[in-house]
Amino acid sequence: MVKILDLFGKRDAAAELGRDLPFRVVTEFVPYRLYANRRNSVMLFLKVKNLTKEPVLSSIVIEVPKRLSLDQTGLITQKEVRLGLLSPQEEKESKIELFGDTGTEKGEYTMSITAFVHYRDYGHVLNAIKKKAILEVS
């Protein structure tokens, strides 16, 4: 069936995009760590590179543990960043500020970063990869 579609110029891009890793995700914290038991913040720099041969609609979801937050009030622990259409081999960088408060204890905090490949719109997911990032609090 796929060979017939190739003859007419149509191919199954979903099968190609679902086979390999779609992205390379690189994380960096500036400054390197948070201070415990005080209100302060670090900037998370996220670089996402499209490793596929097709342009893809992409987004990232960041989830942090309860003692960290993605806003100054301390209430938001999950955030979606829509990157838009990434061309093949294109890289986009996003900055996300992470906040600690007086209840943030010393230790290592693991956050989850999920990068999604969408089709049609952001409501349909074709493929995804997960990455863990560890923030040190001292």
CATH number of 13-137: 2.60.40.10
Q: CB within 8 A of 67, min separation 6: which ones?
A: 100, 101, 103, 104, 105, 109
What does the pLDDT look like over 7-43, one tens digit per residue? Answer: 344 445 555 555 678 999 999 999 999 999 999 999 9
Closest CA to 79 of 68, 70, 88: 70
Q: Taking the CA atoms of 118, 123, 125 and 131 in sequence, report the sign of the dihedral they define.
A: positive
What predicted TM-score, i.e. pTM, was given to this entire model?
0.83
Where exactly are the structural domains of the chain? Answer: 13-137
Would you write out the chain's pLDDT as a tens digit for each of its 138 residues? 444 334 344 445 555 555 678 999 999 999 999 999 999 999 999 999 999 999 999 999 999 999 999 999 999 999 999 999 999 999 999 999 999 999 999 999 999 999 999 999 999 999 999 999 999 999
What is the chain's mean pLDDT, rounded? Answer: 89
